Chain A
Amino acid sequence: MLSVKDLTKSVQVEDKTLVLLQPLNLTIAAGESIAIVGPSGSGKTTLLSILAGLDLPSSGQVYLKNQPLHQFNEEQRSQVRAQHVGFIFQQFLLINSLTALENVMLPAELANMPDAQARGEALLTQVGLADRIQHYPSQLSGGEQQRVAIARAFIAKPDVLFADEPTGNLDSKTGQYIIDLIFDLNVKEGTTLVLVTHDAKLAARCQRQVEMDSGALTEPMAEATLANTEENQPDSQTTTHHDLKSKTSVSQVG
C-alpha cells in the first residue's frame, strides 16, 4: 500500500542544511494500522506529510498504491490524495464557514463521488452527530468537531487514513471515544491507518509501532503483525529498518 525507500528530507536554513529525516525505509501493508511514535521534533510529522503526498522528499522514493509520489507534481499529488487519502488532524481543521455536513461532503465532492450528501449524512449519523449536521464548527465542541473530521476522513473511502495526534486537543474521555471511533471505522472500512502520536496507549492499539528519534526510524516492536499483502508494494522487499548504529541526531551539515 505504502512504501518509502532511502527517503531523506533536509531543508536549507539560511546557508546551512538542516536534516529532518535520515535515510529511511518503511513499508506499510494494506489494511495495516501503524503508529509512528517519538518525541516532539523527532520527524514524525515530516514523515507523515511525505507519506501523504503533502510534501516531497529531498531524496528517495515514496509509493502510494504503486504511484511514485516523489515524481509527482503538486497537482498530481492532489489527485492521488483526492482518490486515496484521508486525514484527521490534531487541530480538527474544519472549514469554519461550512456546516458540519458540507465539511464532511468535501472530500467526496473532490473525488467526484455522486452521493456525497447521502454518504455525509450517514457518516455523521454513525459518529453520533445526526442532529448537528447543519451546525457550523464554531457551534460544536472539540470532541464533536473531531467527530466531524473523522466522518470527513472516511467519506471518500480512502485507502490510507493519516491521523496526526487526533486526540491531542481533547480530554481523555472524549479522546478515548474518538480513538474507538477511528479504529471501529478503520476495521469496518478496511482502511490502512497511519497514526502519528506520542501517546503510548494509543500507539499500542495499532498493529505495529515504529519509533522516530532525531529524524531516524526504529521499530521497537519488530514482531508487529503484518497483513502481508504484497500486491501494492513496488518491490517484494520486506519492512526495512534503519540501522540504528548509523543513526545520528538531527544535525547541521554543510
Chain B
Amino acid sequence: MSIVKQKASTMWFTQSLRLLHHELRRGELTIIFIAIVLAVATVFSLTGFSGQIKHAIVANSTNTIGADRVLRMSSEVDKSIIEKSQTLALQYAQKIETESMAFAGDNMLLSELDAVSDTYPLRGELKIKTSLTQIASIVANAPKPGTVWVEPSVLSRLDVKIGEVIEIGVAPLIIAGIVTDIPDRSYRAFIAGPTVILNIADMPKTELIQPGSRITYKYLFAGETEAIESFETWIKPQINESQRWYDAKAAQNRLSRILDTAEKFLSLASMLGIVLAAVAVAVASRRYGQRHQPNVSIFKALGASISHVRKLYCLHWALLSCLSIAAGLVTGYGLMLLGANAIASYLSLADAPLTFVPFLTAIFTGLLCAIAFAIHPIMTLVKSSPLNVIRGFSQEKVARFGWHQLPPLLALFLLLFIFSQDLVMSGALLVGGVVVSFILLLFGRGLMSAGRSVGTKAGKSWHLALANLKRRASENSVQLVSFTIAIMLLLLITVMKSSILSEWEQQFPDDTPNHYLINITQDQIQPLTTFVEENNIANQGFYHIYRGRLSAINGVKTVDKDDNDSETQNAEKTDSNKKQDSKKTKQQKSRQGMGRELGLTWRTELPDENEIIAGQWWQVSDEKPQVSIESNIAERLAVKLGDDLTFTLGSDEFTVPVTSIRQVNWQSRQLNFIMVFNQSVLEQFPTTSISAWSISDEDRDLVYGFLANFPTITVMDFAAIMAQLNSIIEQVTVAIQLILILVVLAGSLVLIAQVQASMEERERELAILRTLGAKGSLLRNSVLYEFVALGAIAGLMASVGMEIAVYILQSQVFNMSGSFHFQYWLVGIGAGAFFVGLIGMLSCWRLLKLSSVTLIRRTM
C-alpha cells in the first residue's frame, strides 16, 4: 500500500518528464527553448564580457597608474614638491606624455609619445622584447638615452626594423625594442596612434616642448602607506585647477565609469532583442496553452486532480526553463570566448575571472522570460475544464487589456532596470518603447488596410494574401514592429557608413583646410608664412595657442569631472572633513565647468565663420582685458555678458569680463575657439601657434618635403582623422551588428511562433480553399505573398524611419542640407520582403506540402 502511495505521489513527476521528453523530441518546444536560450546567452555574454574587460583593465589596480599616487599637470612641477617627497623617502618617477610625429625616411606617423625617467614604473611592470622573434618579454624601466621602444605597429607603419633610426622632433633615436606591456597605458593611444617610449633625458633634444604645447606631465610617487598619506595631506591643499592628484582607485573609477556607460548602452540596445525573445516566449506559450488544453481536459476527465495537473505542468515548464537557461549559459559562454578572442590583440582576458554576476543576471533574465511571459497561459491551461472533452475545445479569447498583462510589463520594467540601474530611465524607456511601437503599429495598420484595398484589384493570390494580412493585423503587430526596427537600424548603419560621411566630406569648398599644424614656434612662423604665400596654399593664418582652464565664473569655482574623481579618492577623509567640505560646497554653490583644459587664443579681428550675437567685438586699440565666448558654451555654463571668468594658465590666474558672445560655425573645419581674448590678456604668456592649411594632392609632396624641415611641428592630416573616425564607426558597427543579429533572430522567432499559433486556422482555411477547388500554386502564392507583403511594409516603414533619422543626423550633427536615399528604400523593402517571406514560407512549408486529402481529413 505504501508503495502504491509513494508511486501515486511521484506519478505526476514521471508523467511530467515523459511529457517533456516527447514534446522536446517532437520539436513542440523549440521556439520557447530558442527564445530563452537567446535571451540568456545575450545577457550572459554581454555581462560576462564587459565584466571581464573591466576586470582586466582595472584588476591590478596599483599597476594601472604605475605608482601609488600620481600628480598630473600641464606644466612642470615646482621643485619643492619633489624635494618634499624625497624627505619622506618616497620613490619618484616622471613621465611626459604628448602627441608627436615620428619620421623614418619619407614616412611619418602621428604617435603617442611617452618620455619616462629611469625609475619608471614604480608599480607594475613595463615589458619589452628586444627582437621580434623573442618569445618572452623582459621587464624593463626606461630605454637608454638615445634609444626608443615602440609598439609593434610603428615598425610596420614607418617601414623600419629594430636597430634602425627614427626621428622624434629633431632628435634621431635608435629603435631598441618593442613594447608589449605598459602598466599605466593611456587608452588615448587607441585613438591617437601607437606609443613610442623614450628616455626623459632625450626630451629636450626633440625640441617638442614649446610654450603652449599640449603636454601632460605626470609625477609618480610610491612608498610606505604612512609616508604616502602624509605626503598627500601636505600636497593636497596646493593642488590647483589645472592639476590632478589621484590614486589607482580614482583612475579605476574613472575608467569603470566609461566602461559602465558603454556596457549600459550595449545592454539597453540588446534589450530590444531580449524583449522580442520574451515576446516570442509569450506567443509560443499562448499556443502551448491552447495546444495542451485538450490534454489537461483529458487528464482531468480521466480523474487527475487539479494539483496533479498543476504539479505536472509546473515541473514540465520548470524543466524546460532550466534546460533552456543551461543551454543559454553554454551558448553565452561560447560567445564570450569568441569576443575575448576578437579583442585578444588589444587586451588579454585570459586572467580575468568570471564572477557570479553574469550567471545570476542571465539566469534571472531567463527565469523572468520563462515565468512572467508564460504564467498567464499556463495558469489558464491548468484551469481547463474536464467538461471540454464533451463540449469540445474552443480557443478562449484573451482580453486585450487586463491583469494578465501586469507580470510581463513588470518583468520588462525589471529587465530595463537591471540593465540601466536607473529607475527614471527604465520608466522612460518602457513608456518610450510603448509609444514608438504604437506609432509604428498605427502606420502598419494603415498600410495593411491600404494593401487590402489594393489587393482586391490585384490577382487572386495577392487578394487572398492581403486579406489574410489585414485579418491577422493584430497578431502581426509584434513582428511588424520588430522587423521595422531591425531593418531601420540596418539601413541607418549602411547609409551612415557608405553615404553620410562621404557626402559630408564632399560638401566642403575646395579650399577647406585638410591639414592642421600644431606646435609651431614663433621663429617658425615666418618661414612657414613665406612658404604658403609663395606656393599659394590656402590657409587660415596662425593662431597663438595657450592651454588653460576655466577655473571660476563670477568668483564661484567651477566643478568638473576631475574634481569628482578627487572626491572619490578622498573617500578616506575623516567625517568631520567631509562635513566641512559639503558645507563649503553648499555655500559656494559651485558652478559647472568645462571639465577639461581649453585651447585659448587672442585675436584682434573677429575670425571668419564667427558672428557676434551679443555684445561687441573689441577695438584693436582697446587694451582693457576681455574675452569673447562661444554661444553654445555660454548657454551651457549660463554665462552672460559682463560675467567675470577666471582662467588658470600653469600657475598663473587671471580674471576677465565677457564682452561678446559669438556664434561659431563648427562644421567649417576652420580653426575655431571657444574662448578668444584680446591681445593684452595673453601676450605676456609664452606660446606656440597652430594653423590650418588646405593642401591639394599635387602640392602634397612639396608641402610634406618642406615640413620635414620642421620636425617639431605636429601635422594632422584630416584624411587620417576621417580614416580614424571611419575605423571607430567600423568598430561601433560591429557591436551594433551583433545586436542587430540578435534582434533579427528574436524577431524571426516571434514570426515563427505567430505562424505556428495560426497554424490550425491556416489549415482550416487551406482545406476550405482546396475543397472549393483552389490550385496548389494559388495557395502557395497566397501564403508567400502574405509574408512578402508583411516584410515589404516593415521595410517601407523602416526606410521612412531611416530617412527621418538620417535627416536629423544631417541637419543637427553634420549641419548639411538633407538628401533622400531612395536606393536604400529599395534595399529595405526588398530585404524585408525577402527575409520575412522566406521565414514565413519555411514556417508554413509543412502545411503547404500536405496533400489535399490529408488537409481536408485533418480539419473537417
Per-residue CB contact flags for chain A residues 21-53 toward chain B (1 = under 8 Å, else 0) read: 000000000000000000000000100110010
B5 near A79: Cβ-Cβ < 8 Å: no
Per-residue CB contact flags for chain B residues 499-515 toward chain A (1 = under 8 Å, else 0) read: 00000000000000000
Question: Is B389 interfacial (CB 8 A cutoff)?
Answer: yes
Specify which of A49, A55, A79 is in contact with B303 (CB 8 Å cutoff). Answer: A79
Tell me the bound Cα distance from A249 to B34 in angstroms.
55
Q: How far is the CB of A41 from chain B (nearest CB, A)?
A: 13
Per-residue CB contact flags for chain A residues 61-104 toward chain B (1 = under 8 Å, else 0) read: 00000000000001100111111010101010111111100100
A81 near B387: Cβ-Cβ < 8 Å: no
Q: Which of A106-114, A178-186, A198-206, A228-236 contacts B (4 or more CB under 8 A)?
A: A106-114
Specify which of B3, B298, B300 is in contact with A78 (CB 8 Å cutoff). Answer: B300
Question: Is A219 interfacial (CB 8 A cutoff)?
Answer: no
| Beta-carbon nearest neighbor of B858 in chain A | A138
Residues of chain A within 8 A (CB-CB) of B19 are 97-98
A112 near B308: Cβ-Cβ < 8 Å: no
Question: Is B477 interfacial (CB 8 A cutoff)?
Answer: no
Residues of chain A within 8 A (CB-CB) of B400 are none
B390 near A48: Cβ-Cβ < 8 Å: yes
Tell me the bound Cα distance from A99 to B18 in angstroms.
10
Tell me the bound Cα distance from A109 to B389 in angstroms.
20
Specify which of A75, A93, A97, A102 is in contact with B389 (CB 8 Å cutoff). Answer: A93
Question: Is B708 interfacial (CB 8 A cutoff)?
Answer: no
Q: How far is the CB of B363 from chain A (nearest CB, A)?
A: 28
Specify which of A48, A89, A95, A112 is in contact with B4 (CB 8 Å cutoff). Answer: A112
Q: For the complex, count residues of A whose C-beta is within 8 A of B.
A: 36
Residues of chain B within 8 A (CB-CB) of A75 are 305-307
Specify which of A81, A91, A102 is in contact with B301 (CB 8 Å cutoff). Answer: A81
Q: How far is the CB of B483 from chain A (nearest CB, A)?
A: 32
Q: How far is the CB of A151 from chain B (nearest CB, A)?
A: 13
A45 near B390: Cβ-Cβ < 8 Å: yes
Contact A110-B303, Cβ < 8 Å, known A48-B390, A93-B298, A95-B298: yes
Interface residues of B in 268-315 (CB under 8 A from A): 294-295, 298-308
Tell me the bound Cα distance from A91 to B4 in angstroms.
32
A97 near B298: Cβ-Cβ < 8 Å: no
A111 near B26: Cβ-Cβ < 8 Å: no
Tell me the bound Cα distance from A11 to B169 in angstroms.
98
A49 near B304: Cβ-Cβ < 8 Å: no
A87 near B302: Cβ-Cβ < 8 Å: yes
A98 near B18: Cβ-Cβ < 8 Å: yes
Specify which of B305, B306, B386, B392 is in contact with A54 (CB 8 Å cutoff). Answer: B386
Q: How far is the CB of A172 from chain B (nearest CB, A)?
A: 17
Contact A97-B302, Cβ < 8 Å, known A48-B390, A114-B3, A114-B4: no
- What number of residue pairs across chains A and B have CB atoms under 8 A from each other? 92
B387 near A55: Cβ-Cβ < 8 Å: yes
| Beta-carbon nearest neighbor of B8 in chain A | A112
Question: Is A164 interfacial (CB 8 A cutoff)?
Answer: yes
Question: Is B28 interfacial (CB 8 A cutoff)?
Answer: yes
B301 near A112: Cβ-Cβ < 8 Å: no
Tell me the bound Cα distance from A99 to B295 in angstroms.
13
Question: Is B663 interfacial (CB 8 A cutoff)?
Answer: no
A49 near B11: Cβ-Cβ < 8 Å: no
A49 near B387: Cβ-Cβ < 8 Å: yes
Question: Is B578 interfacial (CB 8 A cutoff)?
Answer: no
Contact A110-B4, Cβ < 8 Å, known A54-B390, A78-B303, A87-B389: no
Tell me the bound Cα distance from A99 to B300 in angstroms.
19
A97 near B306: Cβ-Cβ < 8 Å: no
Interface residues of B in 13-30 (CB under 8 A from A): 14-15, 18-19, 22-23, 26, 28
| Beta-carbon nearest neighbor of A74 in chain B | B306
Residues of chain A within 8 A (CB-CB) of B391 are 45, 49
Interface residues of B in 306-332 (CB under 8 A from A): 306-308
A109 near B305: Cβ-Cβ < 8 Å: no
Per-residue CB contact flags for chain B residues 111-125 toward chain A (1 = under 8 Å, else 0) read: 000000000000000
Residues of chain B within 8 A (CB-CB) of A106 are 15, 298-299, 302
Residues of chain B within 8 A (CB-CB) of A80 are 303
Q: How far is the CB of B450 from chain A (nearest CB, A)?
A: 38
Question: Is B7 interfacial (CB 8 A cutoff)?
Answer: yes
Residues of chain B within 8 A (CB-CB) of A114 are 3-4, 7
Q: Which of B5, B8, B300, B302 has the most CB of A within 10 A?
A: B302
Tell me the bound Cα distance from A49 to B295 in angstroms.
18
A109 near B11: Cβ-Cβ < 8 Å: yes
Tell me the bound Cα distance from A111 to B308 in angstroms.
12
Interface residues of B in 336-383 (CB under 8 A from A): none
B11 near A112: Cβ-Cβ < 8 Å: yes
Contact A78-B390, Cβ < 8 Å, known A97-B19, A102-B18: no
Q: How far is the CB of B309 from chain A (nearest CB, A)?
A: 9
Specify which of A85, A107, A112, A164 is in contact with B390 (CB 8 Å cutoff). Answer: A164
Jot down 10 A-B pairs with beta carbons below 8 A, ordered by A. Answer: A78-B305, A85-B303, A89-B389, A89-B390, A95-B294, A96-B295, A97-B19, A99-B22, A110-B302, A112-B4
B residues sitting closer than 8 Å to A (CB atoms) are 3-5, 7-8, 11, 14-15, 18-19, 22-23, 26, 28, 294-295, 298-308, 386-387, 389-392
A residues sitting closer than 8 Å to B (CB atoms) are 45, 48-49, 52, 54-55, 74-75, 78-83, 85, 87, 89, 91, 93-99, 102, 106-107, 109-112, 114, 136, 152, 164
Closest 10 interchain pairs by CB?
A82-B303, A81-B303, A112-B8, A97-B22, A49-B390, A110-B303, A107-B302, A78-B305, A95-B295, A54-B387
